[in-house]
Amino acid sequence: MTVDVKTRRERIEQRVRSAREVNFADLAAEFDVSEMTIRRDVEALEALGVLRRVVGGAIALQGKDNEPAFATRVADAAQEKAHIAEVVADLIGRKETLILDSGSTALAVANSLKGRDLGLTVVTPSVLAALALVDEPDTSVVLTGGELRAGELSLIGPGAEDTLANYNCDTYVMGVAGIDGERGISDYHQAESRVKRAATRRADRVIVAADKSKLGRVTFVSISALAEVQIIVSDGPPDHPALVAARDAGVEVICVADQQDSVQDISAVGSR
């Protein structure tokens, strides 16, 4: 189906952000246009700082300003993030003290925690996560201090980091932009990443929640080595090199797709 120029360029931008690399010929076939048309699209996106042209295609930039808008991230892989969030919520025990990150996946976790009657104490730099849980019975919500980041509605800066330094928590649920076998855990934004590091230091257990588009990706700011987290929950394939490297580093890897397949198999057996 033919799409207009704006839609085509938006889709190319989404593709390069998730796959990190695109090929002119593949894009031309997908959109049923000439490679010259795709080259013009890529040139326009390069002028906006979205990507960089290379021979035969383009690659994503790793710059600090290459973070997609929050609304875009909420919409991207929304169903997959909801499945990941349900599994993460299953890992949280009653009466835990929980640091809940900012970002679209962490917001999905906040929504998945609702109605579970866990009686949590939740410390979060996310205004949206706090609003999602503020009316949850027997749940205490503590917002960190700090500077409110426009668009994200997250709290950053020394105020947020100092607040986290005052608490000892059971679990930190972290959202990330990249998980790579060699470079570890990374994110786009320097101030957000400092808050993530501060949270990591104050929790006994770190759970990274990441959809498969984050696997194999390296973004601007390094947060931690793989061995510094305890659990990764993802919908990526178990044999993805980033997940294999995580297991080799001693991380427990939970693949949501595997769990869904197991539930479907059990349901099928029960219906016979």
Across the chain, where does the E strand assignment appear?
A: 21-23, 51-54, 57-60, 97-100, 121-124, 140-143, 147-149, 154-156, 169-175, 178-180, 184-187, 203-210, 221-224, 231-234, 252-255
Answer left, alpha or beta for residue 151, where phi above 0 means left and psi between -120 and 50 means alpha.
left
Residue ranges per domain, the chain?
5-60, 70-261
Reported CATH class of domain 5-60: mainly alpha
Q: What would the DSSP string read from start to end of 66-125?
A: -PPPHHHHHHTTHHHHHHHHHHHHHTPPTT-EEEE--SHHHHHHHHHHTTS----EEEES
Q: If DSSP codes are grouped into helix, strand and coil, which group holds residue 61?
A: coil
In order along the chain (272 residues), what is the average pLDDT of each group of 10 residues? 83 79 90 93 82 83 56 69 96 98 94 96 97 95 94 93 97 95 92 96 97 86 96 95 97 83 42 38
Asked whether the domain spanning 70-261 has the same topology as the one spanning 5-60, the reply is: no
pLDDT of residue 48: 72
Reported CATH class of domain 70-261: alpha beta
